[in-house]
Amino acid sequence: MQNIDSVASAALDLVYPRYCEACGGIADIEGRYLCWACLSNISVICTPYCATCGDPVEGAVYSRFVCSACNDNTPAFELARSAARYRGPVKELVHRLKYGSAIHLAATLCDIMVPCFDSNYASLSLDVIVCVPMYSRKERERTYNQAWVIADELSKRTGVPFWGGLLKKVKDTGTQTSYNASQRRKNIRGSFEVSQPDWCEGKRFLLVDDVMTTGSTVNEVAGLLKDNGAVSVHVLTLARG
């Protein structure tokens, strides 16, 4: 039997049809802002990928491997995993979330992330979910942090508590899109702070962000949490550039 919420949501859909935020067509997945065609076009990340940072590689690799970037500089985090490639419908949805005030996409985006959480991290005894913070002035301009929006929703789905304000970004690092990996590492160094350092001691963290590119940001945050006594930091991002 359908519950009241889903009956109400189906009735609302008749009056106010929801549109797919990736293609603009009718959103035919109940309660979500995505259509089945776009859902099936999402490039879900599956093996082969680096056993540490989760970076996917093309082609056939049959054994466990660690990429050269992780071999050269062991990351501060234990593992990083991303749900989908940053392309097609996922790129559109992230863009809408970031620049189009589409915070109502939280549940739609978490549908993509939850299977990745379940297959990689469900067995960990995580203490808390945190997200990569935004520089305060930038967050005021945008009025929200997109990583916070998805981390908060992920917390509701997984039951792991979320502490959005534990981390702060204290330096405006600008846009890093034109930087290579080592320039990004240098640029991001010292940009984050922990609001309650003593609390981190002995804790197991899940660090959430929307998109991971070179991993320099999540690595910097993971290093800071470890410096403050974190036992482990696992990273989960919606998308991988």
Contacts with Zn ion by CB under 5 A lie at 20, 22-23, 25, 35, 38, 50, 52-53, 67, 70
Q: Where are the beta strands (DSSP E) in 47-190?
A: 79-85, 128-131, 167-169
How far apart are CB 168 and Zn ion at their closest, in Å?
28
Of 199, 211, 34, give the one whose Cα is nearest residue 225: 199
Question: Which of 20, 167 has the CB closer to Zn ion?
Answer: 20
Count of beta carbons in the 10 Å neighbourhood of residue 222: 23
| CA angle centred on 135, ends 103 and 153, rounded to 5° | 30
Question: Which of 35, 94 has the CB closer to Zn ion?
Answer: 35
Question: Which of 38, 131 has the CB closer to Zn ion?
Answer: 38
Give the bridge partners for 82, in sequence order.
Answer: 237
Alpha-carbon gap, residue 205 to 221, rounded angstroms: 11
How far apart are CB 78 and Zn ion at their closest, in Å?
12
How far apart are CB 28 and Zn ion at their closest, in Å?
9
Phi, psi of 61 (to 5 degrees): -125, 120
Question: Which of 68, 143 has the CB closer to Zn ion?
Answer: 68
CA dihedral 174, 217, 107, 23 (to 10 degrees): 60
How far apart are CB 172 and Zn ion at their closest, in Å?
28
Stretch (H or E) spanning 183 = helix 181-188
Phi, psi of 211 (to 5 degrees): -130, 135
How far apart are CB 22 and Zn ion at their closest, in Å?
5
Question: Which of 35, 235 has the CB closer to Zn ion?
Answer: 35
Of 177, 181, 208, give the one whose Cα is nearest residue 83: 208
Cis before 133? omega within 30: no
Question: Which of 50, 233 has the CB closer to Zn ion?
Answer: 50
Question: Which of 38, 150 has the CB closer to Zn ion?
Answer: 38
How far apart are CB 80 and Zn ion at their closest, in Å?
8
Residue 99 · residue 21 · CB < 8 Å = no
How far apart are CB 89 and Zn ion at their closest, in Å?
6
